[in-house]
């Protein structure tokens, strides 16, 4: 029997397969099925900055209306008891999951401005969350937005988050940073317990009939893992904190590659939305067989063994690889004269 245990944000997990934020982790019965199928932890759907700010404004308006007090109208106003916010729902969910499941439950905050919304992390901790993932999903397309200023703002949000709670905090990132290596190493210095690499951006399409912008939600494909694997391998020797892989990981082979490159855990979403929780069993079974076959005794042993530092041909992760790849192109028959 191979030992699949790993560590994630200081938590000991029975294996490296962790479902990431999705509607599936947000439904209690599905969460239980994920645990039964072997998930070693799960991340709840995000609560968004926009929702927290909107709810706070609604609450403020409500309090003002109560203060002004119109006797006949009072009965039409919601009372503090029936004003259940999205935050309340998440807090109840965390408490329920914690009492019924035995795996760690990670709460997720999602936002990009440096303001009070991030202080709600404290509520998530008090409800029983084992860790917090902060998703910095930002386009940063405002004219004049300098990279340095954006990165400083992000660091500030992370610092504020880390200072507001005792539980570990991890940051879900895009790969769109000019100095990604520096940004991630600075996150470790700021007190983050890890990063999740990388967010997938949902690109809108243009409908040529209606000339409207159409939002698109396409699930991922395995090819997206390659960007993650490269950065896991490059980052692993540079940081000590948790590296989590997210984006395109569907089969046991993808999961193994992420671990070999340097991931501590691998997040699954699209494959679970398509195939259901049972996919986790197949992945864990496939991993165990491969490891036995290759005589690996533990996940610990294979983690990072093909990182930039440990690979026999580290240049494969570098720019050098770019020229070789271009040179390797071969035309299909009949394309050239
Ligand atoms: C329907 C759906 C809902 C999602 N909701 C969230 C969310 O609330 N917060 C978040 O950080 N990521 C969310 N994600 C992103 C996933 O957690 C994951 O990072 C991404 O889909 C890449 O992983 P995959 O290739 O395994 O799907 C969502 C993805 C999908 C498809």
pLDDT tens for 310-334 read 999 999 999 878 888 899 999 999 9
Contact 170 CB / ligand 1 (< 6 Å): no
Is 59 within a domain?
yes
Q: What is the pLDDT of residue 159?
A: 96
Is 82 within a domain?
yes
Which protein residue's CA is at the shortest distance from atom 22 of ligand 1?
247
Does residue 92 register a pLDDT over 90? yes
Is 322 within a domain?
no
Collapsing DSSP states into helix, strand and coil, what is residue 59?
Answer: helix
Is 205 within a domain?
yes
225 touches 293 (CB < 8 A): no
16-56 pLDDT tens trace: 999 999 999 999 999 999 999 999 999 999 999 989 888 87
Interatomic CA distance for residues 114 and 209, integer angstroms:
40
Which atom of ligand 1 sits closest to the CA of residue 133? 11
What domain range includes position 57? 6-308
Percent of the chain with pLDDT over 90: 84
Q: How confident is the model at residue 288 (pLDDT cuts 50, 70, 90)?
A: very high
CATH classification at residue 112: 3.20.20.70
C-alpha to C-alpha distances, 129 to 168, 225, 324, nearest whole angstrom: 10, 28, 47
Joined tokens for residue 177: 């940073």
Interatomic CA distance for residues 120 and 164, integer angstroms:
9
Does residue 101 register a pLDDT over 60? yes
Average pLDDT over residues 163-184: 97
Q: What is the pLDDT of residue 123?
A: 97
Q: How confident is the model at residue 81 (pLDDT cuts 50, 70, 90)?
A: low
Ligand 1 test: best mutation among 19, 22, 47, 263, most atoms within 8 Å of CB? 22
Average pLDDT, the chain: 93
262 dihedral zone (left: phi>0; alpha: psi -120 to 50; beta): left
In 3D, which of 48, 38, 44 has the Cα closest to residue 25? 44
Interatomic CA distance for residues 281 and 115, integer angstroms:
41
Domain count, the chain: 1
Which parts of the chain fold into alpha helices (H)?
Answer: 23-26, 28-37, 49-68, 86-100, 121-126, 147-164, 180-190, 225-235, 252-261, 270-275, 279-293, 299-302, 320-327
Which atom of ligand 1 sits closest to the CA of residue 26? 8
Q: Report the predicted TM-score, pTM, of the whole model to 2 decimal places.
A: 0.93
Is 333 within a domain?
no
Is 115 within a domain?
yes
């Amino acid at each position: 029997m191979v030992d699949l245990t790993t560590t994630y944000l200081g938590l000991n997990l029975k294996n490296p397969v962790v479902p990431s934020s999705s509607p599936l982790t947000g439904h209690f019965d599905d969460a239980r099925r994920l645990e039964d199928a072997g998930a070693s932890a799960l991340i709840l759907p995000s609560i968004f900055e926009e929702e927290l700010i909107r709810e706070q404004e609604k609450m403020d308006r409500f309090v003002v209306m109560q203060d002004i007090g119109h006797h006949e109208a009072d009965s039409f106003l919601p009372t503090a008891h029936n004003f259940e916010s999205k935050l309340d729902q998440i807090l109840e969910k965390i408490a329920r999951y914690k009492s019924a499941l035995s795996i760690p439950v990670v709460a997720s905050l999602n936002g990009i401005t440096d303001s009070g919304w991030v202080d709600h992390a404290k509520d998530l901790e008090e409800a029983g969350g084992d860790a917090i993932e902060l998703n910095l999903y930002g386009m940063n397309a405002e004219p004049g937005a300098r990279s340095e200023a954006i990165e400083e703002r992000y660091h500030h949000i992370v610092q504020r988050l880390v200072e507001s709670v005792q539980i570990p905090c991890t940051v879900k990132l895009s790969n769109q940073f000019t100095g990604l290596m520096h940004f991630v190493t600075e996150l470790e210095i700021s007190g983050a317990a890890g990063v999740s690499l990388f967010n997938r951006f949902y690109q809108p399409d243009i409908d040529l009939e209606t000339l409207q912008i159409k939002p698109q939600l396409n699930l991922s494909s395995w090819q997206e893992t390659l960007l993650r694997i490269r950065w896991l391998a490059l980052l692993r020797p540079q940081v000590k904190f948790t590296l989590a892989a997210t984006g395109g990981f569907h089969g046991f082979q993808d999961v193994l590659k992420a671990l070999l490159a340097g991931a501590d855990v691998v997040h699954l979403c699209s494959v679970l939305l398509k195939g259901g929780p049972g996919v986790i069993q197949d992945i864990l079974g496939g991993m165990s067989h491969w490891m036995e076959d290759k005589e690996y005794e533990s996940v610990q042993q294979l983690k990072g063994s093909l990182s930039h530092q440990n690979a026999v041909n580290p240049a494969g992760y570098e720019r050098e690889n770019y020229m070789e790849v271009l040179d390797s192109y071969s035309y299909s028959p009949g394309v050239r004269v």
